[in-house]
Structure formats: C-alpha cells, structure tokens
Structure 1
C-alpha cells in the first residue's frame, strides 16, 4: 500500500462525487409531480419509469458496492467459493419473470407501495404484514452498511480517513461527509435521485471493468500467469485455520454449500425491499417483463468483475501483511495497477456504486415502516403528506443505523451480516411469492412458518464461528437428515414452508377464520390503459384472466 494521499486519484474521485451530488439534488425537478408529498412520488418516482430508466435503476440497485468490493474480495480470500454470486444472478431472472409482473400488476391496481401492503391486502392480516415489514427492514440495514463499507475501503486506499488516527472524528470525517451528502439528496429527491445517478454509476462501472479485464492481465503476463499464481497462493496454509487458503475449484465437500447458497440467494434477491421498490417504480407490466429479460447482461459483468479477485492475488496485493482486510483488495489493486487518474475513476465507480443502492435501500425500508408499521398500527388515518414526511425522516434514521454499524463493527464481518439478511428475506418467500399464485396457505400458518424459519436461521447462523468471529461467522451448517454442509437460509425455508403447509391443513380442518382477500383474479394481469378516469387502472385488452389466483 502506498504511503500518503493519492492526490490525483482523490481529485478525480471528488470530481465525480460532486457531479452526482448535483445530479441528486437536481433530480427533485426531474419529472416533477404536482404533489411531491406523496409516497408514490417520493418513494416510487411517480411509478413512471420506463424500460431503460428501470433497467439502470435495478442494475444500480442490485449490482452494488457489495458487487465491486465483496464478491472479488471473497474470491481473493477463498477462491471458487466466492463465485456463488455469478450463478445465483443467472438463476434468479427466470424465477422472477414468473412473479414480478404479477406483483407489479396487483400493486398498480390497489396502490400498494410495499410487498407488505400486498400481504395485508391478500391475506387480510396486519400481523403477517408487520412481520414481513420488520423482516425487510432488519435485512436491509446490514446491506446499507455494506455500501458504506465500500466507500470506506476506497477512502482508506486513497489515504484519506481510516488509518491509525486516534481521533475517531478525523479518521471517519470523509465517510461522515459522504453519508451526509447521501442523506441530504435522498431526503430531497426521493427515488428520482438514485434513478438519475444510476446512469453515471453504471457507465463508470462498465468502463472500469472493460479496461481492467484487458489492461491488468496484460500487466500481469496474461490469464495463464494469473491463474497459476492464484492456484499457488490458495494451496498455502492459512495460519488461522491450519487449512489451505482456498482453491480454484470447489472441493466435493463444499459443493452442497455452494449450490444451496446460490439457489437460496437467487430466491431471495428480488424480495429485498429495495428490489421491490425499484420494480414498483416501473410504469407498466411490460416494463418489468422486458427488464427481467435484459438484466442478465449484468451477470456477464459480474463474472468479469469476480476475476479481479484472482488478479489481486497475482499482483501481490496484501502479500505478507498479517490480518490483511480482503475488503481493501480490489481498491488496492486499482491503486497499484492503474495510472492515478484512472484509479480515481475506478474509486468513483465504487463510491457512486454505493450511493445508488444505499439511497434506494433507505427509501424502501422507510416505506415499509411508514406504510406497514406507522400507518397500520399507530395512525390508520395518516394522510399522504404525513406518510411522506414520516418516510423521509425514517430514511435518515435507517442511514444513521447503518453508519453506526460501520463505525462500531469490524469491517470484515460486513458480508456475513449481509448474508444473514439473506437468510431472513428468504423466509418471506411463502407469503409473498406463494400469495401471488395461490391463497391456499392460511395466514396464521404462514406467520408460524415465518417465525420458525427466522428462529432456526438466526440460531444456526449464530452458532457459526470463523477465525475473526465467534458468532455469525458463516452461513452454512449441516443439513438435518442429509449430513452435508448447506445454506442455512434454504434449510430454514424448507422448515418454514413445511410447517406452513401442515398448519394450513390443521387450521382449515378447524375452520379458523381466513381473513378478507381484497384482490381479484384480474388484478394479477392488470396494466394501465387509457380511460375516462386516469386514476382508474384497467386491464390491457386481449389479456386473458388467470385460471386461478
């Protein structure tokens, strides 16, 4: 690591950061609505985004600073196991093609802002809706924190912030400034800010990856040299574990863990609140369908990005440094290999890649609190303006919580806590995805299944240790009855859905009250169409009603 501040890289990074900050504030005037104090406007961008805006928004939302820092960092630290993110993003799109258009349609018809709104309407259960909302909020918090970790990694490598300063305020001042900017433009412009900034973020990321995948291998002697050096490094013993550091190919005993983690992550990805928020901001059902077919282009980028982990090893990043933080590996690779001015571009891509999803995540978590906790439990008669004001304030609180996580916790645990959030989100699948296709499950059975899955998943994750953590050190444990390591979240999901199915049979036999379903079969294929009353959603002519909902 170079000593001192890289002034050129810092200057370029600051330039881009200031540019997107201006864009963030100007976004409040973009497609400006007559009534900005409405969650449809502040929290969903007026539900007006077309295919390209939605594509960039979803790309900026899903492919984050976590993607840029933590995925190649996982490969840098463990090898092939870190590639789980590549297959899971490939698996997820065929899955979401089946249910996201239905979620958009029913939400459009009934004015749902969150997935918990849909749960309340579908099952007539506030308790189930609140449970889903709480799950979404707590799963999103570490995800936001991970974005701030990405910014902090860039600042550390550039020589500003971090370091060994005894004054915590001086040490973390750059991160606090970045946090303040994020909070300000999100509060001011709502979802329009990250939607506009996502264009800049994605352009920078694609430029950096294309250059990196060509220029760095050229500097390191080609891919053959890179893989040979990585293979040799993985075979070395890790002093903390007494085992090899990693491998280029997953060992047989790790394959169940790899496959179940990829599958479970694929099932959960689009049920995160920020994913749902981006989807519901689309202006039509076809916008969502088209995006599920073209978003896999990002998976190609992700595969190339993951290769940077091998390149960091081949370049000797962190070599000989005891306890080196793998989260710094990719920013340090850019610092070592690129000219200072282009390193600044790469750092800007990571920093902006953190701002976009962090903004969307805080908005999504705030919408959940406002609609499904504040309004449903405390103020049922809240006006649209009151909802918006509460959501704006809560978005700030959520960011403060994420910032506190970053400033008080060891940075190496960020990815593990984010993966814990994935375990929790997976437990919402039976209610949300199941509810989009059938109402067979009883609301109380779904609530019991959710509680069992959450308890089991959290308990098993708590038991996992790592060289740096006594608890929550991993997300794999022995699968009961199989005896192989597997993703805890998927095991918890199986427990969840089996219990929900069994209790549904029992509750139906006992004739327990079902709750009122305010949706109809036609709602799940609804799409806007011109009508005398522009506030009345319609059905696109020619679309048949589903056989059952």
Structure 2
C-alpha cells in the first residue's frame, strides 16, 4: 500500500460518498409503504426517461466494461472488440420486444421474466426452470463486479479477499434498506465519473505515448510476435466465426438477464423504454474508447499485478491509470471502477432475489404470501445471492474475468425461446420448451466443460470459444458455445412442440390477452378488468392471444 496513500484516500472518500447515497436513497421518492416488490424491487415502477437512462446504463455498463474488455484486448487483441458490435446491434433488436414486455408486465403485475412465462404458457415447471436459470446466470455476473473492485485494490497494494468482503458488506447493507432506489440514485454519480475518467484518458494518455499511431504500432508489434493463433491485431480465419457468433449471441442474451429487465420494468411507461433504447447506443462510443485502453497499456509497457506467482490480467487498466495519471486523479479513476461495480451488482442481487421470491417462494412455499412477506424474503435472499457470487470467485478461475460473464451468457441464452419469442408467439408447446431448455443447457455445459484456458493451465470452463474440431470438423475455427447451445434449444423446442401436439398432450392455459402487449401507463390492470373481457378476442379462447399460430 506504500506509495498509494493519496489514491486510497480519494478512493475511500468517493466510495463512502456513494455508499451514503445508497442509504439515503430509501427516502428518495419514498412511497407510503416500501414493503412490496413493486416498491423495493422496482422503485414503484415510476422512473422517467432520465432516471431510466442512468439506471439501465449503470446496469449494463459495468466493471466488465472497465476491467474485462480492456484486459481481453490487451491479451488477445481484435477479438476483445466484439463488445462494440453487440452493443450496437442489441438496441434495435430489443426496441419493440421490451415495450411489449413492459406492457404485459404492467397489466399483470409481473416482476420477473419467469412471472411472464408462468402466465403465458401456464406452466409452473417452465417458470421454475426460467427462474433457476436466471439465478445461476446472474451469480457469475455479480462475481465479475466483485473482481473489478478487487482489481482496483490490488493495484493499490491491497491483496487477498478483503475487497470481496468489503463489497459484500456495503452491497448487503444498502440494497437491503433501499432496494432499487439505491443503485438508481448512485448511477448518476457513477456515470459522471465514468465520462470524466474516460474522456481524460483518451486525450491525456495518447498524448503522453506519442499519439495513436504509436499506440497501434505497439499493439501490432506485440500481436505479430504472439505464438497463439487465436490472438491478433486483426481477426483471422480461426477466430472470425467466434467473433461474429459471440457478438450476436451476446446481443441476444443481454436483455434476457433478470437485472436488465428489472431496469426496464421500473420505467413508468412505454415511451420511456423506446426513448432509452434509441439513446443508449451513445454508451457504445464510450465502450469503444474503454476497449482501447488495452492497446494503450501495451504501448505504455504496463505490466499487470503479480501476486503469489500469478499474474492478474484484470489489473491492467488500474495499473495503467496509476502509471499515467497524477495520484489524486488515479484515485478518482479507481473510484469510477469501484462504483461502476457497485451499481450493477446491487441491481443484479435485487433481480435474483425477486426471481426466488416470486417464482420459488410464492409458487411453492407460500402461495398466499403478502406484499410485505415477499419484500422481506427478497431482502434476505439478496444477501444470499451475494454469498453465491463470492463462491463464484472462489470456485471459478477469475484470471480472465470476462469468462465469468460469457459463462453466464451461455446459460441465460437458453431462456430466449420462452421469454423473448414468447412475447410474440404462443406456438411453442410448454413441453417442447422445457425439453429445449434442458437439452440446450446440457449442450452448453458440455461445451463449456471442454474449453481449456491455456493462460492458466485449466482444462475446463476456460472460456466460451468452442473448437469445431470437437465435433469432428477438420478446422481450427472456434464458435461461441452459447450460440450452438441456443440452436440445439430451438431445434428441440420446435420438434418437441410438433411431437406433443401430434400426441395431443395438453398444453398450458395462456393468462394473457392480445391487448395486454400494447397497454400503456394509466390503462386498466388485470385486476381492474371485467373477467368477461377475455371473451372479446377469439384468439384468446384458442390459447393464442397474439393471434399467431
């Protein structure tokens, strides 16, 4: 810690400031009663365009952005830039999908994607599968945020798992008290710090390194000399397919995560969603600049922290900041990374807790749970979720923290047929969806198990680049494991649907109606409607409220 006193003081001061804001948030836009999931878990479903902008941006652009992407660019080169096309592609893909999800959730009071699946397909079993998938996929994503905080503290000379304990205690305290209002309020500070640090970095650091030409020349020289064919200054025949499928698969997965939908459902109307999906690509510009920090680190000759004989590539950006900036500004930059981890980790733990409460506790343990009981259970489970995230750090190798997010992406993609496609069609049979989910998940886990990590010597779960040679192809090309697993899922779901329908196996009852997918703020909710109104559309009687067959 010697030599980092100023950085540590600035970091702690800003960290304590935003933590204090997290506790104060319980009084911000406070309702008469905070003891319900609508209030504690969704902020009263009342956030306007600006709050939603910062909340969703703070939720999606995380420590993964600051730590993992530049670390991957530093280590592997061009492949690390996959995050750019996927964040550009994702918003047009989900522009209308999320508006439909908001509407049907507004009408029926859904809090989680599994709530929607339960009503849409009339299957508690399928809803349970979706809920468990969301919980498992979220754990490594929260762990990634804790890795970000740990990387900053390592750069200041603080080693061990103390950072994880600190992060756990802070997150546990203010999410328990304030719910979603805490990360929503903190997100304002987080985004301001991010923009200040990144704009300073892309202007100041290149000027010190002799300009962008020098930076790119240094990166090219490094990767031209690398023996690993998967790494390179530009994409090559071996990793182009991986790049394309990883970008597209990541785009499909992003808003399937429970925490992504939590920010969406907290919005007050459809127009808020549409405005944000139109404006949020502006964040992708910042992401591109952040990725270039990996090349800057190469040009600067930055060396990541080595502790216990192991080199931690996740520390490359914090060490670069320490190397380039004055101590006081390095402390600000470290705080931006740390706060950038706190905001999404809080939202993720809330979303995971809501999944357990709504789709396990209420469905199987206490069907008559009151709003207050649900809120209390979610508060407690949000603490347990953070313990699970810590276990991900201890049990999985966080050497390349981006792998934690990619593993979660492979898992969460298996909910796409039920959640995303379910918003548009009721054609799939619940039995087919369950079979597709099970086999898609099994295929994904099998592929992840076969992927090694040469950098650490681990033979399994070393990333998401699946070698096609494992399937008998004579090639060195790799492909995103989640993409292949999703193809398996969709194929099995489609074939299973045909088989179940041919066998006349009973399907679940659809509790939604066509108009539910277009409802807006102020329109009557399901409990306010006349039950006979379900007879207004013949498609509802046929179990297909969207009219698609």
Equivalent position of 1:235 in the other structure: 224
Query: How many angstroms apart in 1 are the aligned matches of 2:164 and 2:504?
Result: 56
SS of the aligned residue for 1:477 comes to strand
Equivalent position of 2:85 in the other structure: 87
Equivalent position of 1:120 in the other structure: 118
Query: How many angstroms apart in 2 are the aligned matches of 1:13 and 1:474?
Result: 32
Contact 1:233 1:245 in 2 (8 A): no
- Residues 218-252 of structure 1: CA deviation (Å, up to 9, x unaligned): 00000000111111112234xxxx53683210112
**Runs (5+) with no aligned partner, structure 2:** 531-538, 540-544
SS of the aligned residue for 2:24 comes to helix
- Residues 291-335 of structure 1: CA deviation (Å, up to 9, x unaligned): 110000000110111000000111111189785321000000000
Query: How many angstroms apart in 1 are the aligned matches of 2:385 and 2:314?
Result: 23
Query: How many angstroms apart in 1 are the aligned matches of 2:343 and 2:252?
Result: 23
Equivalent position of 2:435 in the other structure: 448
**Runs (5+) with no aligned partner, structure 1:** 163-170, 539-544
TM-score by length of 2: 0.93
TM-score by length of 1: 0.93
For residues 387 and 319 of structure 1, do their structure 2 counterparts lie closer, same or farther at Cα, with a shift above 3 Å needed? closer
For residues 123 and 284 of structure 1, do their structure 2 counterparts lie closer, same or farther at Cα, with a shift above 3 Å needed? same
Q: Write out aligned runs for 1:273-292 (5 A).
A: 273-292=258-277
Q: Write out aligned runs for 1:414-453 (5 A).
A: 414-453=401-440
Equivalent position of 1:186 in the other structure: 175
Q: Write out aligned runs for 1:308-327 (5 A).
A: 308-318=293-303, 324-327=311-314
Contact 2:69 2:402 in 1 (8 A): no
Counterpart pick for 1:405 among 392, 416, 425 = 392
Matched residue count: 528
The farther-off stretch of 134-143 and 469-478 is 469-478
Equivalent position of 1:307 in the other structure: 292
Contact 1:235 1:246 in 2 (8 A): no
Contact 2:424 2:546 in 1 (8 A): no
Query: How many angstroms apart in 1 are the aligned matches of 2:24 and 2:91?
Result: 33
Equivalent position of 1:168 in the other structure: none
Contact 2:22 2:178 in 1 (8 A): yes
2:184 is the alignment partner of 1:195:
yes
Query: How many angstroms apart in 2 are the aligned matches of 1:461 and 1:184?
Result: 35
Contact 1:527 1:537 in 2 (8 A): no
Equivalent position of 2:542 in the other structure: none
Equivalent position of 2:204 in the other structure: 215
Q: Following TM superposition, by how much is the alpha carbon of 1:188 offset from its aligned partner in structure 2, in angstroms?
A: 0.3
Q: Following TM superposition, by how much is the alpha carbon of 1:548 offset from its aligned partner in structure 2, in angstroms?
A: 2.9
Query: How many angstroms apart in 1 are the aligned matches of 2:10 and 2:305?
Result: 30
Equivalent position of 2:355 in the other structure: 368
Q: Following TM superposition, by how much is the alpha carbon of 1:415 offset from its aligned partner in structure 2, in angstroms?
A: 2.4
Q: Write out aligned runs for 1:60-71 (5 A).
A: 60-71=58-69
Q: Write out aligned runs for 1:116-155 (5 A).
A: 116-155=114-153
Equivalent position of 2:505 in the other structure: 512
Q: Following TM superposition, by how much is the alpha carbon of 1:82 offset from its aligned partner in structure 2, in angstroms?
A: 0.5
Contact 2:175 2:346 in 1 (8 A): yes
- Residues 253-301 of structure 1: CA deviation (Å, up to 9, x unaligned): 2100110010000000011010011110000011111111000000011
Two-structure CA RMSD over aligned residues (Å): 2.1
SS of the aligned residue for 2:466 comes to strand
SS of the aligned residue for 1:271 comes to coil
Equivalent position of 2:535 in the other structure: none
Query: How many angstroms apart in 2 are the aligned matches of 1:432 and 1:409?
Result: 28
The farther-off stretch of 69-78 and 485-494 is 485-494
2:251 is the alignment partner of 1:266:
yes
- Residues 90-119 of structure 1: CA deviation (Å, up to 9, x unaligned): 111110012000000000000000000000
Query: How many angstroms apart in 2 are the aligned matches of 1:447 and 1:408?
Result: 29
Query: How many angstroms apart in 2 are the aligned matches of 1:311 and 1:83?
Result: 14
Equivalent position of 1:56 in the other structure: 54
